[in-house]
Amino acid sequence: MEQTAFDLIIDPDFKKYIFPITRKHYSRLESDIISNGCRKPIIIWNKTIIDGFYKYKICKEHNIALNVEKMVFDCKESVIAWI
């Protein structure tokens, strides 16, 4: 599903399980998304991002359309186990 509205939620409890990337890696990702669009979907659960935090930030900053893939989990703990 393509989405241009940037109304997704970033939960700090989920984000803390994502390894930080270097500035160089972030710059390469940003250049790629600007040139080619966001090819891989942002993974969400109940409008909350569970994968794709950096892609989301870049798309939001540059007003680039993004795709989302919804996943179904019973609870927050199940999401954390998936991450």
- pLDDT score, position 65: 92
Domains belonging to the chain, first-starting first, are 2-82 (3.90.1530)
**Bridge partners, residue 68, by sequence:** 42
Give 61's contacts (C-beta < 8 A, 6+ positions apart). none
Global confidence as pTM? 0.86
pLDDT confidence of 7, banded at 50, 70, 90? confident
Angstrom distance (rounded) from CA 61 to CA 34 = 10
Angstrom distance (rounded) from CA 4 to CA 59 = 9
CB 72 within 8 A of CB 46: no
Q: Is the pLDDT of residue 5 over 60?
A: no
Q: 12-66, pLDDT tens digit by residue?
A: 999 999 989 999 999 999 999 999 999 999 999 999 999 999 999 999 999 999 9
**Bridge partners, residue 42, by sequence:** 68
